């Protein structure tokens, strides 16, 4: 029988956040594949986990994946952990999990902490719909471009950010999204100097400048989505009317739909109904 591949979430700071099931799994597997074996030593020692470890990181992912899959096929069970939080969430493991599925090996998630969900839950910003962008590109121009592309995104935006880039990123966000857009900076979650601040982008920039928000440690930045603009039926009809003066009804409705974000058949219907009333 093939072994199981466990994907085990570990704490993002506070070691007390590990689950009983995670400890049991890490004790019982044949091998722990860890992003950094030295880093994980603290966690494993704290919970008296004596299982053998093997480094599995972005530089050896390619070559090690097949070796681990062979072990699984031969009946060994393996737990994958990263330095902190949930493996694969901006951490190595995707190739291994994909290869496990390709080889009909059962993948068992052991859920637990992840900085995205931890930050969102305390952000005070809408959480019903959100998108996770991971890290923004390191180069300023590419970062500006990505943030511009997200300008009209109405879902809450979640970013991971490094301390040496947070000031510049927040400035660009203010430039592009405006001073009044709300955001939350979540710093050092679950750790001694945890700080979670929700404010407008301009106020957050001032707090970073004055170091009321310290520029140290690990950060998640959450930004309110853009307000959805709702356009009235009268406005849709007015646009359609202007365009109809120079275009065929089909072309006018198509263009009106593009401008207003309505569906083409909705524009037709509105135009038809208003024609009947006149
Ligand atoms: N796999 C991890 C998870 O599930 O959250 C994320 C790994 S990613 C390489 C590391 C980034 O996550 C950090 O740069 C930071 O943006 C965020 N992060 C991790 N721990 C954090 C914490 N305690 N407080 C705030 N952000 C954290």
Find out whether 87 and 57 touch, Cβ atoms under 8 Å: no
Q: Which of 73, 74, 71 is nearest to 56 (CA)?
A: 71
Domain limits, the chain:
5-113, 116-223, 233-277
Cα distance from N-terminal residue to C-terminal residue, the chain: 76
Q: What is the DSSP letter of 10?
A: B
Residue 229 CA, distance from chain mean position: 25
Which residue, among 39, 37, 7, 3, has the nearest Cα to 21 in the 3D structure? 7
Predicted pLDDT at 162: 97
Are the C-beta atoms of residues 6 and 88 closer than 8 Å to each other?
A: no
pLDDT, residue 277, reads 55
**5-113 and 116-223 share one CATH topology?**
no
Beta bridge partners of 196: 186
Is a pLDDT exceeding 70 seen at residue 231? yes
Instruction: Give CA torsion, residues 173, 179, 183, 185, to 10 deg.
Output: 70
Residue 230 scores a pLDDT above 80: no
CA 105 to ligand 1 centroid distance, Å: 28
pLDDT for 276 equals 63
Distance 104 CA to ligand 1 centre (A): 31
Q: Which two tokens stand for residue 81?
A: 């952990």
CA of residue 53 to ligand 1 center, whole Å: 22
**Which is the CATH superfamily of the domain at 116-223?**
Tetrapyrrole methylase, C-terminal domain (3.30.950.10)
Return the pLDDT at 261. 80
Query: How far does the centroid of ligand 1 lie from the alpha carbon of residue 10, in Å?
Result: 11
| Mean pLDDT computed over 60-86 | 96
The mean per-residue pLDDT over the stretch 195-223 comes to 98
- Is residue 119 a contact partner of residue 186, using CB atoms and an 8 Å limit? yes
Q: What Å distances lie between residue 55 and 83, 87, 92, 252, CA to CA?
A: 11, 13, 11, 61
Whether the per-residue pLDDT at 196 is higher than 90: the answer is yes
pLDDT-based confidence at residue 229 (cuts at 50, 70, 90): confident
Q: What is the pLDDT at residue 262?
A: 85
pLDDT digit string, tens, across residues 100-147: 999 999 999 999 999 999 999 999 999 999 999 999 999 999 999 999
Chain center to CA of 4: 27
3-state helix, strand, coil in the chain (%, to 5): 45, 20, 40
Neighbours of 190 (CB within 10 A): 16
> 190: CA distance to ligand 1 center in Å?
11
Task: Please tell me the predicted confidence (pLDDT) of residue 278.
Answer: 52
Calculate the CA 155 to chain-centre distance: 12
CATH ID of 5-113, from 3.30.70.2750, 3.40.1010.10, 3.40.190.10, 3.90.580.10: 3.40.1010.10
Average pLDDT, the chain: 95
Two tokens, residue 14: 């506070």
**To 5 degrees, how large is the angle CA 71–CA 73–CA 75?**
75
- Ligand 1 mutation target, pool 43, 85, 187, most atoms within 8 A of CB: 85
- Residue 5 bridge partners (DSSP): 78, 107
Considering the entire predicted model, what is its pTM?
0.85
Residue 2, φ and ψ in degrees, nearest 5: -70, 150
> For atom 8 of ligand 1, which residue has the closest CA?
90
- Alpha-carbon span 156 to 226, nearest angstrom: 8
Q: Ligand 1 pocket check: which of 160, 213, 215 to mutate, most ligand atoms within 8 Å of Cβ?
A: 160
Q: How buried is 122 (Cβ within 10 angstroms: 0-12 exposed, 13-18 middle, 19+ buried)? A: middle
DSSP annotation of 133 reads E
High-pLDDT (> 70) share of the chain, %? 99
Residue 123 CA to residue 177 CA, distance in Å, equals 18
Residues with CB under 6 A from ligand 1: 12-13, 82, 84-86, 89-91, 114-116, 160-162, 186, 188-191, 218-220
> Of the candidates 99, 77, 73, 97, which has an alpha carbon nearest to the alpha carbon of residue 31?
77
Q: How far is the CA of 92 from the centre of ligand 1 (A)?
A: 13
């Amino acid at each position: 029988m093939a072994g199981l591949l466990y994907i085990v979430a570990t704490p993002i700071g506070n070691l007390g956040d590990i689950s009983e099931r995670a400890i049991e799994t890490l004790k019982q597997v044949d091998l722990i594949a860890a992003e950094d074996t030295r880093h994980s030593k603290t966690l494993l020692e704290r919970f008296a986990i004596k299982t053998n470890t093997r480094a599995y990181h972005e530089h050896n992912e390619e070559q090690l994946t097949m070796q681990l899959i062979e072990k699984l096929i031969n009946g060994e069970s393996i737990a994958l952990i990263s330095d902190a939080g949930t493996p694969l969430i901006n951490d190595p493991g995707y190739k291994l999990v994909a290869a496990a599925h390709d080889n009909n090996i059962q993948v068992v998630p052991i859920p637990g902490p992840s900085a995205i969900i931890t930050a969102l839950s305390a952000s005070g910003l809408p959480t019903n719909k959100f998108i996770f962008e991971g890290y923004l590109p390191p180069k300023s121009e590419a970062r500006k471009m990505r943030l511009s592309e997200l300008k009209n995104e109405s879902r809450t935006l979640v970013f991971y950010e490094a301390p040496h880039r947070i000031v510049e990123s927040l400035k660009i966000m203010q430039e592009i999204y405006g001073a009044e857009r709300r955001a939350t900076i979540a710093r050092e979650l679950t750790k001694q100097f945890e700080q979670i601040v929700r404010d407008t982008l301009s106020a957050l920039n001032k707090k970073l400048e004055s170091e009321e928000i310290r520029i140290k440690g690990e950060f998640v930045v959450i930004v309110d989505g853009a307000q959805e603009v709702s356009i009235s039926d009268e406005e849709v009809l007015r646009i359609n009317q202007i365009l109809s003066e120079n275009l065929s009804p089909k072309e006018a409705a198509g263009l009106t739909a593009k401008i207003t974000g309505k569906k083409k058949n909705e524009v037709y219907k509105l135009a038809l109904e208003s024609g009947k009333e006149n």
